[in-house]
C-alpha cells in the first residue's frame, strides 16, 4: 500500500481503535509520500498516481492530523504508529473504506488551504529536568554531550512549527521549561523564543545559536532572585482543566498510560475539552542513562510543587525508552494527540 500524506486530505489515518491490533501483518510493504520543505506539485502528484496505477499499488490520500507540521514531525508520528504495529492496520482500514465507498465525500489528494481560524485555547507545557548544573550549559562544541543535544531537540520539537500552522489556526500553544539539577529554571514561550531569534536574523537557527540563546537566558535567570518553579506553576493555580503527566513517575498496576488509552479507543475530537493545559514532566537522560540522587530530589520537589498547586498528576512510562530521541518523541506525540 502507498499513501500520500497531507493535512488537507479528508481521510485521517484510522489508527485509534482496538480492532486494528491484529491486522498489521496483512500488509508487507508500506510507502509514504509527502512533500519535504514544500508541498508536492501537481506534476509530482500526477506522476505518483501514474506509477502506482502501473504497478497496481493502491494509493491512499490521508493525513496524520489536520495541522500543518514539519516533515520531520510527521515522519516521527508515522514511525511511532509503525512501532506500535498500527500503521499498516490503519492503511488497510482506509483502503477498505475506499473500496466500499463508505466515505461521504470523494477522497482528494489536492492540497487546499484551511479556513479554520479558531482561537488558541490549549496549551502543552513541557517541563524537562536537566542532569547537569546550569553552569555546565555551553555552546562550545568541544564541551557538549547528549544533554545539550537533547535540549536543542526539545526546543525545536516543542517550540517550532510549520509557518503554515500559524496561518491556518493556533490549535495549540507550547511552552518549555528547563530545570537544571542545581534548581535553576529557564522558561521559554513559543512566540517569544522564536521571535527573539528571528530578530537576530536566526529564523532557522543552528544548534550553536539555540544553545547560545539558552546560555543568555540562563545568565538572565541567574541574575534574578525568585523561586521560578513556584512562579511558573502559580499561573495554573486557579485554572480548570489542568493536568500533569509525570514521565519519570513510579508506575503502578493501576496507572493509566495516556498513549495506550488513545490507541485503544476510537476517540472523537468532539469529546475533548475546548480549553485545557497539559504539563509533561520529562527527565533528559545523560550518556549513562541512569538517574542520579540530585535528579531524584529535584523530581520530588517538582511533584510536591505541582501537588500544592492542586494539579492532578498521573505517572507515565516513556513512549520508547530505548529510542535515541525518546524525550523529543514524547513531546511530538503529545502534540499530535492535542491536534
pLDDT one-digit tens code per residue, 183-197: 999 999 988 999 889
Q: Is the pLDDT of residue 58 over 80?
A: yes
- The reported pLDDT for the residue numbered 254 is 47
Give helix 190-198 / helix 146-159 axis angle, nearest 10°: 100
In whole angstroms, what is the distance from residue 310 CA to residue 338 CA? 22
pLDDT of residue 132: 94
State which H helix or E strand residue 215 sits in.
Answer: helix 207-222
Q: How far apart are CA 228 and CA 10, in angstroms?
A: 44
CB 302 within 8 A of CB 281: yes
In DSSP terms, 177 is beta-bridged to: 127, 187
The number of beta carbons lying within 10 Å of the beta carbon of residue 207 is 17
Report yes or no: 108 and 63 within 8 Å, Cβ to Cβ: no
Question: pLDDT tens for residues 118-140?
Answer: 455 789 999 999 999 999 999 99
The residue written with cell numbers 482496538 in the block is 18
Identify the pLDDT of residue 115.
Answer: 43
C-alpha 177/C-alpha 126 separation (Å) is 6
Is 234 in a helix, a strand, or coil? Answer: helix
**DSSP β-ladder status, 185-189 and 173-180:** antiparallel
Distances in Å between the Cα of 40 and the Cα atoms of 5, 29, 47, 114, 219 are 10, 22, 11, 17, 44
70-109 confidence digits (pLDDT tens): 888 999 999 999 888 888 888 888 888 888 864 454 444 4
pTM of the predicted model, to two decimals?
0.84
Cα–Cα dist 147/130, whole Å? 7
179 phi and psi angles, rounded to 5 deg: -115, 115
Distance CA 16, CA 80 (A): 13
What is the distance between the alpha carbons of residues 333 and 14, in angstroms, rounded to a whole number? 16
Please give the grid coordinates belonging to residue 46. Answer: 500526477
Amino acid at each position: 500500500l502507498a499513501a500520500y500524506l497531507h493535512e488537507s486530505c479528508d481521510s485521517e489515518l484510522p489508527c485509534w481503535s482496538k480492532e486494528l491490533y491484529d491486522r498489521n501483518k496483512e500488509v508487507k510493504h508500506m510507502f509514504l509520500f509527502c512533500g519535504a520543505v514544500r508541498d508536492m506539485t501537481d506534476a509530482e502528484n500526477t506522476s505518483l498516481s501514474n506509477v502506482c496505477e502501473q504497478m497496481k499499488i493502491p494509493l491512499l490520500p490521508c493525513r496524520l492530523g489536520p495541522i500543518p507540521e514539519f516533515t520531520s514531525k510527521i515522519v516521527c508520528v508515522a514511525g511511532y504508529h509503525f512501532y506500535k504495529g498500527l500503521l499498516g492496520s490503519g492503511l488497510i482500514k482506509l483502503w477498505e473504506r475506499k473500496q466500499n465507498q463508505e466515505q461521504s465525500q470523494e477522497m482528494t489528494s489536492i492540497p487546499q488551504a484551511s479556513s479554520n481560524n479558531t482561537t488558541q485555547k490549549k496549551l502543552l507545557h513541557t517541563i524537562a529536568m536537566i542532569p547537569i548544573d546550569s553552569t555546565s550549559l555551553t555552546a562550545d562544541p568541544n564541551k557538549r554531550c547528549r544533554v545539550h543535544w537533547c535540549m536543542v531537540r526539545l526546543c525545536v520539537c516543542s517550540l517550532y512549527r510549520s509557518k503554515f500552522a500559524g496561518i491556518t489556526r493556533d490549535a495549540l500553544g507550547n511552552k518549555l521549561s528547563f530545570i537544571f539539577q542545581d534548581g535553576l529554571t529557564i522558561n521559554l514561550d513559543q512566540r517569544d523564543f522564536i521571535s527573539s531569534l528571528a530578530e537576530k536574523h536566526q529564523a532557522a537557527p543552528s544548534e550553536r545559536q539555540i544553545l547560545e540563546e539558552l546560555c543568555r537566558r540562563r545568565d538572565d535567570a541567574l541574575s534574578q532572585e525568585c523561586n521560578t518553579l513556584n512562579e511558573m506553576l502559580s499561573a495554573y493555580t486557579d485554572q480548570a482543566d489542568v493536568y500533569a503527566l509525570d514521565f519519570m513517575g513510579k508506575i503502578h498496576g493501576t496507572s493509566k498510560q495516556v498513549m495506550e488509552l488513545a490507541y485503544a479507543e476510537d476517540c472523537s475530537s468532539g469529546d475533548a475539552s475546548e480549553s485545557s493545559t497539559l504539563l509533561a514532566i520529562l527527565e533528559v537522560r545523560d550518556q549513562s542513562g541512569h538517574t542520579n540522587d540530585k535528579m531524584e530530589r529535584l523530581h520530588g520537589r517538582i511533584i510536591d510543587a505541582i501537588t500544592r498547586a492542586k494539579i492532578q498528576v498521573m505517572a507515565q512510562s516513556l513512549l520508547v525508552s530505548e529510542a535515541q530521541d525518546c524525550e523529543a518523541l514524547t513531546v511530538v506525540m503529545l502534540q499530535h494527540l492535542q491536534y
